[in-house]
Structure 1
Amino acid sequence: MKYFILFILFLFPSLSICGQTINKQAEKGKTYVRLVDFTRHHFTKKWKNTANNAVYQRTATANNKYFERLASNPQRKLPLVPRKDLTGDDYLVDSAYYCKTIFSTKKYTLNIYKSGSKYKDKMGDEMFAPVDYLVFVTMDSQQRIVDYLVCYYNVHRLYESAERYFYMNNGHHITLINFYVDEIDTSFKGIQKYLINNQGKFVLLNKTNGHKRVTK
């Protein structure tokens, strides 16, 4: 019993380190999910789906649970459809709806919006690719959109998927990671790192396509 108590005392502080900003807000909204800090992990270019890539699996599971548990308000629709990251010809992209406020500053408020379920019945249809997504939106004091960033998506094709997951730390840094999954392999497609500046703009700090760094 003594060793079990010591183990619990050791475990809980370590669990509180990662993703504090987003997870504190999730807890308030009864959507508590511990997002995985994948930012220091080196992903190989490709691996077989039969292999056990623990960091990928934990990252995907946590982000997908976060998406599923977010409740949206159907009366508060985002007045634009964020297609700049969702450009496939067969993509079915619904509008997004307000979920909650992540934090506010004197200059802007950061909200998160979730895609609607208009195309849910098209999942499994080989002709279409319905998209689940989350988008961060910054707004000024007049509720005007300053900027937005698609932080999560899952493009549902019949035999494959395109995936994006995110991690956010307390310093307003957001890291996005992209994958492509088919029937045999999972491919690492790159990372983008952003900072939310004082004006509420999402500033791209660096980007890699696979393992190749892209200069701005």
Structure 2
Amino acid sequence: MNYIKLILIITTTIIFNSCKLENKGKKNIDVSHNETIVLNELPIGVNLLLNTVLPEKIIYQYDEKEGLNLQEVNLTDSISILSSNYYENLKINREEVFSQLPQIKKNIIYNISDKNNMIYFLDSCYFSKTIFYDGNLKLKLFKDGGKYNSQIGNENNSVTNYIILAVYNNLDKLIDYKTIYYNETLYYANNSMYFFLDKKLKPYLVEYKTEEDGIYLVRKREYTINNKGEFVLIKDKPTDITNEDKINDNSITLNDKISDFCKDWEGIYWFHPFELDANKIGNYYIDYFKDHQDFGLSGGSNSFKFNIMAKSEGNKLYIFKKDESDFSQKNAEAIITKMANNYYINSKRLNVERSDIKKNDLGYLINWAKTIEEIED
């Protein structure tokens, strides 16, 4: 299989060297992400996504007599969109971690070995810079920290690098976000998405996959960011080679039908939010069983309880009110994340007073039990 590795190395080298990036904004402005100064660094990304006819496929062929022969290859301006130079040039501030770990692939639990001994590595992402602020909406870029790059090259490893575009309001509260760039490196293949963000706040996303026999265009999408700061899908053109387990929407919208019951998540989730020596009682809890599903805070004057429904996506369970009709992440009452043998909860309803527990990028560590009988008194 050495010739396949050679193909990938040569192709990647040509792609990187032929990249032409568009970033004609106010590059001389040095603005902290905490400052409220109007700025605009748009457009950014690969402008060739708009003005070039993109190749649908590039087929590799190998002739043992003549050596490497790449047919249907035109790695000029059009193929230069596959460059990741923009990603490489972004700097990060590790003191500001993005609150979510994106689900780049569907049905994947990241950073633990699956049943096939495959590990899909995905690092947290960190603030890079603010690229737009008009006094109302603020656009920030976040980039992964490259923690797992040393794992690239192992036959059982997948390592994904990525960029997130996040929209905040003028109080610096997160409104919406989307993965706009990723590069997943596998042993003999890789999957990538490239972007262009124009001056009208329209992100253009293009996905490619590189396999042993060539490069294939997978999907093209166009969004706009409305005046509420939400990503709205305008165009979506999957190609005939689109494979459900290789691509996804890369957004926080979960508009699929809510499952009747997610058996793998059955159980009780709870934790005590008050100081252990305080004269307060009560626990935040989520009861998730087939015959009853509730979210609440027991005890005290601020107690609440309501019926819920849930949606499972990879290693996350999204909790919604029973009567909710918009299944987007911003409407989720809580998000439970499973990482290894631990569970974490993130919710706008949580008011945690304890000083001995800390919130990480996945939320607060919580308890879980399969049945009520398993809970210790």
Contact 2:207 2:217 survives alignment (8 Å): yes
Q: What is the aligned partner in structure 1 of residue 48 from structure 2?
A: 37
User: Residue by residue, what CA displacement relative to the aligned partner does 1:79-128 show, whole Å, maximum 9, x if unpaired?
Assistant: 11111x33363431111100000111232200000011111111011111
Which secondary structure does the structure 2 equivalent of 1:68 belong to? helix
Matched residues, number: 188
Q: Does 2:59 correspond to 1:48?
A: yes
Q: Which amino acid aligns with 2:25?
A: K
**Higher RCO by CA contacts (8 Å cutoff, separation 6 or greater):** 1
Q: Does 2:58 correspond to 1:58?
A: no
Question: Quick one: which of 180, 183, 186 aligns to 1:157?
Answer: 186
Q: What is the aligned partner in structure 2 of residue 81 from structure 1?
A: 101
Q: What is the aligned partner in structure 2 of residue 8 from structure 1?
A: none
Q: Does 2:123 correspond to 1:94?
A: yes
Aligned pairs (5 A) from 1:1-216: 19=22, 22-24=23-25, 28=29, 35-49=46-60, 50=70, 51-61=73-83, 64-83=84-103, 85-87=104-106, 89=108, 90-210=119-239
Ranges of 4+ aligned residues in structure 1 off by more than 6 Å: none
Which secondary structure does the structure 1 equivalent of 2:99 belong to? coil
Percent identity between matched residues is: 22
Larger radius of gyration: 2
Higher helix share: 1
Which secondary structure does the structure 2 equivalent of 1:204 belong to? strand
Provide the alpha-carbon RMSD of the alignment. Answer: 2.4
TM-score, length-scaled by structure 1: 0.78
TM-score, length-scaled by structure 2: 0.46
Q: Which amino acid aligns with 2:89?
A: R
Gaps of 5+ in 2: 1-20, 31-43, 61-69, 109-118, 242-254, 256-377
Contact 1:45 1:211 survives alignment (8 Å): no
Kindly state the Cα deviation for residue 211 of structure 1 after the two structures are TM-superposed.
Answer: 6.3
User: Residue by residue, what CA displacement relative to the aligned partner does 1:42-91 show, whole Å, maximum 9, x if unpaired?
Assistant: 33432224222323431122xx11111110000011011111x3336343
User: Residue by residue, what CA displacement relative to the aligned partner does 1:184-213 show, whole Å, maximum 9, x if unpaired?
Assistant: 21000010101011111111101000269x
Gaps of 5+ in 1: 1-17
Which secondary structure does the structure 1 equivalent of 2:166 belong to? strand
Which secondary structure does the structure 1 equivalent of 2:49 belong to? coil
User: Residue by residue, what CA displacement relative to the aligned partner does 1:115-169 show, whole Å, maximum 9, x if unpaired?
Assistant: 1111111101111111010010011223221000111000000110000000111
Q: Distance in 2 between matches of 1:86 and 1:123?
A: 18
Distance 1:34 1:201, change over 3 A: closer
